Structure 1
């Protein structure tokens, strides 16, 4: 068997030549990165899964066009970001979230009164669910260009040179976008988030009743707290506060969020779809 961590150049050539094991290993090597980018851009795991599959199919069917002029990961990110920036709006984006709307929701949550006793373990899961969903919701308040720049530069910690190369803009333009995104998120979170500013009246546990009422948190179907992860870090309040204290607060907040694992269905799905593409377009077999 070919190890998943085999050198990409070998995998690329073998996959282009029709080696199924190489193709499977290549998909496994890149799927988590692409999925992590997609879920931060689109919020909902199901939408991120659909987008990731579309991106992986595009990567696999265009392997023959990779010339090695940039790193393979940069090439993959370029395909992924182009898709995420141009795809139709998904369910969370169609809500047209803004920082003003978020502020209104926060105030409604603070004002909402509901007396309900929840077991501690269940409460901690719901707090984690809300915290992650809220953090990713903050990203949706940024337009797509700023959002993707923030994810690449702040969350994935790519350099302005790498970010610019991926987005087909200059490093200076990338830094400007990143700076603008940082400023918008910092201003909002410093004002409203109790994790960033302890004096703020918005606390995750206080927002749970309203989040359940509005459907942001579904105790019977958690989107984020139960999602498989690449790492075993928790996203507990304690973990977040530790990250916030060690880094610039807002950056620490986003760094503390889980690194999600992609669904294990991608390899078979991409194989099947690519097989259909090849049967309908035999020229793909020679790319």
Structure 2
């Protein structure tokens, strides 16, 4: 079967799955949730910056997606349509992250990175773990320094590598307007990373391994409870090591932001959604 035939078959399978879910078939509803939960969580994490906030947002987005499932008309893939629902929610979400609350920008962030930078690499037995935690946390913070419209454009295009057509559909704008927004975000991130990040530029002073001591002292990372480096990974997804190897191989500004591992959504609140679905009391709009 050629690629067009495969796409048609996949589209037909999605249409049939959603029809069964809207009709109230519990197995189909569960399959929809399983297929969407991890990608939506990764979107929410990149937009909110913190796993706890991303988990809350993912639960709300999934409920909105399921409540509107009957309105999906296959004008886009189910996940692309779900991203659109998610982005609409995340763009208007009340500010929660520390970075957003204090309106941190890239210039301030760059100045902070130069403060307390060690002269030598951290040499402890947990150096690889903590260096990864610093890098992952730093890239999350960078995204939080962008305005939300630029952040989501960058995430969709450079992190998730969606086409301009799909990203524009998700944002509800024209492809030309989307590309302009993306280029603005790429320029800001690229300029920042070239000037500050040793992964991107050998001339830049900051190195993840030299930020560890300061990050530990300031509480930005927790040796006993790393937020990102020890995060649960999706089945078959990229690990932290895989992501690091990809970043080194690509060695460009976008790669630093792109190569978080393939995080899996936490299960606590998702189990609550499953229980709601199994109760038969959840309304699906047709």
**TM-score where L is the length of structure 1:** 0.87
**How far off is 1:70 after superposition?**
2.4
The CA deviation string for residues 19-76 of structure 1, in whole angstroms up to 9 with x for no partner, is 1111111100111110111111111111111100100011111111112222222211
Matched with 1:197 is 201
Q: Distance in 2 between matches of 1:136 and 1:173?
A: 25
The 5 A counterparts of 1:47-126 are 47-92=53-98, 93-110=100-117, 118-119=124-125, 122-126=126-130
Q: Distance in 1 between matches of 2:258 and 2:142?
A: 14
Contact 2:106 2:145 in 1 (8 A): yes
Matched with 1:12 is 18
- Structure 2 counterpart SS, 1:60: helix
Contact 2:197 2:207 in 1 (8 A): yes
The CA deviation string for residues 125-175 of structure 1, in whole angstroms up to 9 with x for no partner, is 000000001011111111000000000011111111111111111101000
1:264 aligns with 2:267: yes
**How far off is 1:275 after superposition?**
7.3
Contact 2:68 2:284 in 1 (8 A): no
Structure 1's 114 and 68: CA in aligned 2 closer, same or farther, altered over 3 A? Answer: closer
- Structure 2 counterpart SS, 1:174: helix
Which of 250, 256, 260 does residue 243 from structure 1 map onto?
250
Contact 2:41 2:265 in 1 (8 A): yes
Q: Distance in 2 between matches of 1:286 and 1:216?
A: 43
- Structure 2 counterpart SS, 1:109: coil
Which of 158, 161, 164 does residue 162 from structure 2 map onto?
158
Q: Distance in 2 between matches of 1:26 and 1:229?
A: 19
Contact 1:243 1:255 in 2 (8 A): no
Structure 1's 261 and 285: CA in aligned 2 closer, same or farther, altered over 3 A? Answer: closer
Which of 24, 31, 36 does residue 25 from structure 1 map onto?
31
Q: Distance in 2 between matches of 1:95 and 1:252?
A: 27
Contact 2:48 2:96 in 1 (8 A): yes
The CA deviation string for residues 110-132 of structure 1, in whole angstroms up to 9 with x for no partner, is 2x68998622xx11100000000
Q: Any stretches of 5+ residues in structure 2 without a counterpart?
A: 1-11
Aligned alpha-carbon RMSD (Å) = 2.5
